[in-house]
Structure 1
Amino acid sequence: MSTGILVTGLGVVAPHGHDAASVFEAVARGESAVRELPMDLARPVAAATVDIDLTRWFNKLQSAGVDRVSQLAVAAADLAVQDAGGIGHAAPERIGIYVGCGMGGAAALDTAYRSTSGRVSPLTIPAFMPNAPAAHVAMRLGVRGPVLTYAVACASSSVAIAEAAKAVRCGEVDLAIAGGTESLIVPGVVLTWQAMQTLATFTAGGDAAMRCCRPFASDRSGFVLGEGAAFLVLESAGRAAARQAPKRHAELAGWGLSCDATHLTKPDAQGQQRALRAALQLSGLQPADIGYVNAHGTATKAGDAVECEAIRAVWGEALPGLRVSSTKALHGHLLGAAGALEAVITIQSLVRQQLPPQAHCDTQDPLCDVPLARAGEPLARPLEAALSSSFAFGGTNSSLVFKRA
């Protein structure tokens, strides 16, 4: 079985770099992009931020009233389109944009709330609205088809990619630009996450922040925030062949969506299993066919254990042939953009036939008893298919299956 949906373009603006190859290479080496931030808060803050000159896409006049979350989206979408060889071969009305964004323009809101002059920019509303990134991408690229935003917490961009693939598959669009963006590392937002007690703890000073996110480890204490954007260009195999697309990174072979419908913030293993099984069923693959899972793995006590329970249940006797890692340990949790960045890394693992190793897990929690990818471990067999999962507050679960093209 084949969906016939190919990934012909990749674009990333991430803490590790600005192209898919360099991002994957850094992650494969186990390099952490997490740093302690000089933020004037009661508790120390660790996060993974993006270092990029955005004047390539926005001059000073253009950037006025455009939040960083939208600027990152425009940059990553443009890079994806360039990687795909452009989009001039498709009618603008037949191109769709599908963007995941969990919280919108956090910097614009934070600036408005902290205004001491009593004056708030009239551009605050269009800057922070969650659909602003998609709108800016559409305006920059001249896209006139469906331009949609998915705000599904940590599953936002994974859901956006799945919905884009459905639109291509059913013929609603000829080409889809799908992914996500997030930039919310501002004091007000960080304080809210600290209040939830979900962020990793560490001792201020030195390099402790770099290793503070430890998915699946017995001493894990939570996640670290990250920012960035990542986009995929999706099109049918027939169209890619007809236009002689310069790259065929992978096939998006399946996707599965489900809802726990049990609790707003507590994950549910059965709900996650439903998404995993649905993605496998659509792809026509069996669990044994999947060699690698880029796990949601946020390094929270409950989240990691529940996800591993779901993986064990789905893979069953095929579990020993699987390898799992959560790359959030190195690039942070991009929330609304997490699924898209992790999809790019998963695709690169297929292209390069290399597994991103699990970082910072010196002692694995017995409740997280799944086979982790380890540094230096050779592939036991060619990597033909891999899966990336995103599980969100609100109970939405999304899994994407990719195959070698």
Structure 2
Amino acid sequence: MAEVKVPTLGESITEATVGEWLKAPGEPVALDEAIASLETDKVSVEVNAPVAGVMGQQLVAVGDTVNVGAVIATIEEGAGAAAAPAAAAPAAASAPAAAPAGDVEAAALSPSVRRAVLEHGVDPSTIQGTGKDGRITKEDVVAAAQGKAAPAPAPAAAAPAAAPAGARREERVRMTRLRQTIAARLKEAQNTAAMLTTFNDVDMTAVMEARAKYKDLFEKKHGVRLGFMGFFVKAACQALKDLPAVNASIDGDEIVYHDYADISVAVSAPQGLVVPVIRDAQDMSVATIEKTIGDFGKRAKDGTLKMEEMKGGTFTISNGGVFGSLMSTPIINPPQSAVLGLHRIEERPVVRDGQVVVRPMMYLALSYDHRLIDGREAVTFLVALKNAIEDPTRLLIDL
């Protein structure tokens, strides 16, 4: 019998929460197959089987907090172990039994499948799984969302009783460890920093024209689409070089200045906001920046970002415009001292050379720690960013 232990979760992370069991007692397990999912302060981590055999006892239940190195389950080694029934531990008495083929309601969903379900907004109980033992795969979810697969009829007994007209309902859902950490860090930022936000707007005409002119050549040469974030990251790096206080942090009674720009990019994931870091962005081309951001976004949705990829960072860019935000006051990501908020682009009347014309405009917001950054520096930073975006061709296109 082999013990399954909580793996090392990363520097300074000593505990996690059991998110879900991916294998039920009595189910066959392959070597290195994921049997459980743990939620840490930053990402979900899968626990893999140390040996092949049959799933034995689950020593902890979903929602329990476990420490690194703790034994959370056992596995009966060898193919012959299937003949020996595995008794579930009392803590896991509520764990579901092995699901028969096709029974998608009882089958456990892997983290990637669960994220796909949340992303596409489909009901997993209506999907006919094509995976092993009738389990739902990520492809099944995508196909169901696109209407390519006929949904499996839900058992009649599973249909909930109709609620009376006008009934008021409440549902209590335990906060994930990631959501708890986000809440604590945001409140910490408000309690610690002397936070202030300054605004400006930027005419996106030049960037949009440059993008339209060079996008085909850019994609052909670099193998990635030319977006707006590459322009803003590059422009921010240049502005941070001229205004080092915006790229600095406070450590006790000292100010730490950085001669590099590690840009944190806020990315929305199914379980909450994550902020991976583009390291040494000041040395990157627009193409490399775009590739890095695209990779972060994809892996954030899949839940495969590594914890070390979200550590550090000297400055954050958050793009609420992708969700339609017109204006916001973003909150600083400690111990950083500033965060740039981008917003949606919309046509507005502006005055150019004495004439009222329509231009694609975007509001910019810089929230900063007034203990370190003066208003002059904050405004100068936004003006420098605005100037770079409004004249990007010579400075930002890597062609």
More helix by share: 1
Higher relative contact order (CA 8 A, sep 6+): 1
Normalized per residue, the structure richer in strand is: 2
- Compare CA radii of gyration and give the structure with the larger one: 2
